[in-house]
Amino acid sequence: MDQQFWTYFFVVLTFGMYIGIAIWARAGSTDDFYVAGHDVHPTLNGMATAADWMSAASFLSMAGLIAFLGYGGSVYLMGWTGGFVLLALLLAPFLREFGKFTVPDFVGDRYYSTAARLIAVLCALFVSFTYIAGQMKGVGVAFSGFLGVEFNTGILIGMCIVFVYAVWGGMKGVTYTQVAQYCVMIFAYTVPAIFISLIITGNPIPQLGFISNVKGEDVAMLDKLNTVVRDLGFLEYTQTNKSMMDVFAITGALMFGTAGLPHVIVRFFTVSSARAARISAGWALVFIAILYTTAPAVSAFARLNFIDTVNEATYIAGDIDEIDYDAEASAITEEGGKPIPRWFKDWEKTGLLGVTDMNGDGVVQYSAGETNEVTTLDRDIFVMANPSIANLPGWVIGLVVAGGLAAALSTAAGLLMVISSAVSHDLCRRTFFKNMTDKQELMTARIASASAVVLAGWMGMNTAQLGFVAQVVAFAFGLAAASLFPIIFLGIFWKRMNKEGAIASMLFGLIATFAYIYYFKFGGGTPDQYFLGVSPEGIGFIFMFLSAILGIVVSLVTAPPPQDVQDLVEDIRVPGTRSPHGAGDVDMAPMAAE
C-alpha cells in the first residue's frame, strides 16, 4: 500500500469521525451552541482547549520557522507557551466566574455600555478573521501537498468539512470534535519525531535526541547542525540576527495576545465552575507541552535532513507526473551522483518549493545569499514533508497529513464559534434585536457560521502575500494583545476602569496595531522605519502598554463606574460567591444610554 492510499485512508477516516461526532453532539439550544451546555468535563475541555489553541501555526508552521530561523524562531515557542500560562492563571477562572457566553458579552456588561460591546465585537472579528486566514492556508498546504489537488481546491474541501461540524454542532459539536482532533494531532506529530530521532541519534525520545550525539559520531546533533549551516553561509542555528528588543516584543505580543484570544477564552465558559476552569487549564498545559517540547527536535531534524538530501543533488527536470523519476534517479546514482529526492519533486508541483539552476551545472546549490538555487521554499511545508525527507513508511506520512488538517480545522472551528456568537448573540440579540427567541438566535448563529466559513475560505486563498502561517497568526495575536487584553485585565483587577476608558483603549489598540501591520506589509514600509526597531509581528506588545495607559488616564478623568458594577468586579474575584453558572444567571445592571 503506497503513501497515497494511506493519506486518503487517514483523511477519510478522521473526517468521517469528525462529522459523526458533530451529528451525535448536535446543538439543540443556544446554551449548547455557544458554551456546550456548561457541562464539559475539565479533562476533556483541557484536551479540546489544547486542540483549539494548537492551530496550523503550532503544528505546521512553528517547526518550519524554528528550522530555518533557528534560535530566532524560538520566540513563537516561548510566546505561545508563556501566554497560555498567563491566561490559565490570571484570566480564565475569573472570566468563568463571570459566566457569560463571549468576550464582547463580558465587555458589554462589565463596562455597562452598548458602544463598548460593539467595539469588542469589532476587535473579536478582526482578530478571528486574521487568525482564521492562517488556518485556511494550512489546510491548503496539507491538501495540495498530499492529495494532488490545487491549493485553493484544498481550502474548499476544508471549508466543507468545518461547515458541517461547526454550523451543525455548534460549540458542543466543536468541543467533542476537538477532543478527537487533539488525539489525531498529537499522535501524528510525535510518531514521525520518534522515528527520525531514532534514525539520526539512536534515541527514541525526541526531546533527548535533540541534545544527543549523532548516531555513530562523537559530535552533538546541534553542533553538527551549526557546522553544516555555517559552512553553507547561513547564520548558526543557535544564533539570531533579530534585535533583542524585537525578540522581546514578539514574545510579549504572542504571550499577551494569547491571553486576549476570544476563541481560547470562550473554552473556559464550557465548564461548570471557576474551579473546573482552573483544572481544565492545567490539563490543557499538559496536553500542549507534549507537542511544544517535541517541536524544537522536529525543527532541527528537518533542517539537517533537508540540507543532506537537497544540497549538491542533481536536479531532475520536468513534472513528477510526466517523467520516469525512478529511471532518471537510477542513472544519476550509477554515475556516482545524488539525485534530487522524489519528495522534492512531489512538493515542487505545488508551487511551494522550487529551484533555479543559476550556473547551468544541473546540480542544486543550497547556500546563503544570491548563490542559493533553492529559490522557492515555503517553510510551512516542513512538518508535512519531514517524514518523506526521512524516507519513513507511507502510513506515517498519511498520518501526518491527517494531523495537520486536524490542527488547522480544530482552530478554524473555534474561531468560527467566536465569529458566529459575536454576530448572533452580541450584535443581534443583545444589541439590535433584543426580542429574538432562542430558536431565532440559534438559526442566526448557524447562518453567521456558514457565512464566516465562506469568508474565511476566501481569505485563506489570498494569504500568500501576508507570509507563512505562523506570521499571519502572529498578526492576530498582536491585535488581541493591544485591543482586548488591556480591557479584560483591567476589567477584572481594577474597579475604577470605566466604559470611556475601555472604549478609548480598544479603539487605539485596534487601529494603531492594524495600521502599523498594514503599512509594513502592504504600504511600502521598510525595516529601517520600524518603531523602536519592532517588527509588525511584535508591535502589538508596544501598543498594548500604550492602550492600557490611555484607558487608565481616560478612566481617571471621567466618572467612575456605577457601584453595582464595582461590586460585580469584587464578586468575580472571590470564588464561590456567584451562582453555579456565574453572572450569566443573574440580572445585570442595565446598560447606560449611549
Indicate which CATH number applies to the domain containing 254: 1.10.4160
Rounded Cα–Cα distance for residues 402 and 126 (Å)? 29
Same structural domain, 468 and 360: no
Three-state SS at 496: coil
In sequence order, the 6+-apart residues with CB closer than 8 A to the CB of 540 are 253, 256, 257, 477, 478, 479, 480, 481, 482, 509, 513
For residue 257, give the C-alpha cell.
495576545
Same structural domain, 7 and 53: yes
512 occurs within a structural domain: no
Q: Which helix (H) or strand (E) holds 377?
A: strand 376-377
Same structural domain, 144 and 241: yes
Same structural domain, 297 and 194: yes
Q: Measured between alpha carbons, how far is residue 319 from residues 141, 324, 348, 376 in Å? A: 19, 10, 8, 16
| Cell 498578526 found at | 475
* In contact, 346 and 363? CB cutoff 8 Å: no
| Average confidence (pLDDT) per 10 residues, the chain, 594 residues | 76 80 68 66 86 74 79 80 79 74 79 87 78 70 65 75 65 78 87 92 91 89 90 83 84 84 75 79 87 89 90 89 89 91 85 84 85 80 82 84 76 74 76 76 77 76 55 75 90 92 93 89 82 88 95 95 88 58 39 38
How confident is the model over 491-536, as pLDDT tens digits? Answer: 989 999 999 999 999 999 989 998 998 888 778 888 888 888 888 8
47 occurs within a structural domain: yes
Q: Which domain holds residue 268?
A: 3-25+34-301+395-473
Same structural domain, 321 and 277: no
Three-state SS at 326: helix
535 occurs within a structural domain: no
How confident is the model over 369-409, as pLDDT tens digits? Answer: 777 888 888 777 777 788 888 888 888 888 887 887 777 77
Rounded Cα–Cα distance for residues 231 and 303 (Å)? 14
Rounded Cα–Cα distance for residues 392 and 95 (Å)? 45
> How high is the pLDDT of residue 581?
42
Same structural domain, 85 and 216: yes
> How high is the pLDDT of residue 557?
95
Rounded Cα–Cα distance for residues 235 and 233 (Å)? 7
**DSSP strands (E only) in 235-304:** none
161 occurs within a structural domain: yes
- Nearest residue to 180 via CA among 422, 13, 319: 13
Length of the chain: 594
Same structural domain, 195 and 321: no
Same structural domain, 104 and 222: yes
pTM: 0.77
> How high is the pLDDT of residue 197?
93
> How high is the pLDDT of residue 594?
39
Rounded Cα–Cα distance for residues 397 and 387 (Å)? 6
* In contact, 56 and 139? CB cutoff 8 Å: yes
The number of distinct structural domains making up the chain is: 2
Same structural domain, 329 and 296: no
589 occurs within a structural domain: no
Q: Measured between alpha carbons, how far is residue 488 from residues 88, 99, 127, 422 in Å? A: 14, 14, 15, 16
Same structural domain, 426 and 358: no
> How high is the pLDDT of residue 561?
92
Same structural domain, 225 and 351: no
Domain limit, last residue, from 473, 491, 512: 473
577 occurs within a structural domain: no
Sign of CA dihedral 100, 257, 83, 134: positive
Q: Measured between alpha carbons, how far is residue 423 from residues 35, 317, 429, 449, 450 in Å? A: 15, 51, 9, 9, 12
417 occurs within a structural domain: yes
Rounded Cα–Cα distance for residues 103 and 539 (Å)? 23
511 occurs within a structural domain: no
Same structural domain, 204 and 348: no
> How high is the pLDDT of residue 500?
95
